[in-house]
Structure 1
Amino acid sequence: MTNALIVIDVQESFRQREDWAAVSEPGIVGKVAELVDHARGRGDLVVWVLHSDPGTGTVFDPANGFVHLMDGLEPAGSEPVLTKTSHNAFTTTNLQQLLTLRGVRALTVCGIRTEQCCETTTRVAADLGYEVVFAVDATATHPIAHRDAPAGRSLAEVLADPRTLSTDEIIARTEYALAGRFARVATVKELTGS
């Protein structure tokens, strides 16, 4: 087994936030499930990663009960489930050790958020020498408010601000940043042939 699918943060925590109403890919579970089925069919390793911020009282605090995979996704058999506390899936987990022990040299990355945990994991993986495919339409993100925007605004206020970066702009920027530098960018259809 030299390939692995890394599923990052497709967890209930995100659906509890107001900005889920503006997510780029509300059907992300279906897209990820296609990749999971394809990976399992090829005999590839599937690694599930969840984000946790213990003691914060947020939707990412395990004490609040939302740090689990979204309905429709379920690890099979001995597929590892890792919990991270950093943006990338390597720094605060044993992901690299797990991949090394299994002889994995190529990764496909998918999950939430496109430009944050997924992109950061992709960059770190490339720096570690992995061949990486970024499954762009099996990632999801939310609009990002301008750095000078006041904190605590409602989603409607964020969306009404012309300085807010749209999900399309975020995804395009991520594709430009990764393609040919850190990863091959591909769609689920290109990867599965379906």
Structure 2
Amino acid sequence: MTNALIVIDAQESFRARPLWQTLDNPDLIGNVQRLVDDARAKGELVVWVLHNEPGSGGLFDAANGYVRIVDELKALADEPTIVKTSHNAFSTTNLGQTLTVAGVRSVTVCGLRTEQCVETTARVASDFGYDVTYVTDATGTFPIPHWEAPADQSVAELLADPRTLSAADVKTRTEYALAGRFATVTTTGGVTGS
């Protein structure tokens, strides 16, 4: 086995947030499922990664029940589910060991958020010597508030603020930053051939 699909933070924590209504990619979960089906058909390793903020009391605190794979997607019993506490999937987990034991030399990354955990994992994987494929239409993100915006800003206020960085701009910036430096940027169809 030389490739692994890493599904990053496709978890209910995001859907429980009001910001979910601004998700830029309505096809996200369906595209992730297509990648999962394709990886399984090819006999590739599928690794599920969840983000946990223990003790925070928030939606990313596993104690509150949202740190689980979104209901539409299902991990098989032999597919590892790794729980991280950092933005990249390597630093606080045994992901590197899991990939090494499986003989993985390349990774395909997808999930949430485009510019945060997915991009950061792609960069770290590249630094560790993996060939990285970043599937842009199997990632999702949200508008980003200006750094001076109030932390308790509502979704309506976020969208009305002219300083807000649009999700489309976030995605484009991520593609430009990764392409040719850290990853090959492609689409779900580019991976699956359909």
Q: TM-score, normalised by structure 2?
A: 0.98
Aligned to 2:142: 142
Give the Å deviation of 1:148.
1.4
Q: Which residue of 2 aligns with 1:109?
A: 109
1:77 offset after TM fit, Å? 3.2
Matched residue, 2:31? 31
Aligned to 1:83: 83
Where structure 2 has 5 or more consecutive residues not aligned to the other structure, the ranges are none
Kindly provide the CA deviation profile for residues 19-55 of structure 1, in whole angstroms up to 9, marking residues without a partner as x. Answer: 0000111332111000000000001000000000111
Number of residue pairs the alignment of both structures matches: 194
Report the Cα offset of residue 72 of structure 1: 1.4
- The percent of aligned pairs where both chains have the same amino acid is 61
The answer to which of 66-75 and 169-178 deviates more is 66-75
Give secondary structure in 1 for the equivalent of 2:109.
strand
Q: How does 1:125-140 map to 2 (within 5 A)?
A: 125-140=125-140
CA offset digits 1:134-184 (Å, max 9, x no partner): 000000001000111122110000111111000100000000000000000
Counterpart amino acid of residue 44 in structure 1: E
SS of the aligned residue for 1:60 comes to coil
Residue in 2 that maps onto 1:118: 118
> Structure 2 counterpart of 1:65, which letter?
G
What's the CA shift for 1:76? 1.3
Unaligned ranges ≥5, structure 1 = none
Give the 5 Å matches for 1:154-173: 154-173=154-173
Compare 144-153 and 9-18 and name the one that shifted more: 144-153
1-structure distance, mates of 2:10, 2:150:
28
Per-residue deviation, 1:116:
0.1
Counterpart check, 1:10 vs 2:10: yes
Distance 1:95 1:6 in 2: 10
For 2:77 and 2:38, the matched residues in 1 are separated by: 16
Tell me what 1:174 maps to.
174
Q: Partners in 1 of 2:164 and 2:26 — Cα distance? A: 20
Deviations 1:60-82 (A, max 9, x none): 11111111010111111310000
Compute the displacement of 1:56 (Å).
Answer: 0.6
Measured in 2, the distance between the counterparts of 1:65 and 1:105 equals: 34
SS in 2 for 1:159: helix
Distance 2:62 2:99 in 1: 26
Q: What are the equivalent positions in structure 2 for 1:48-63 lying under 5 Å apart?
A: 48-63=48-63
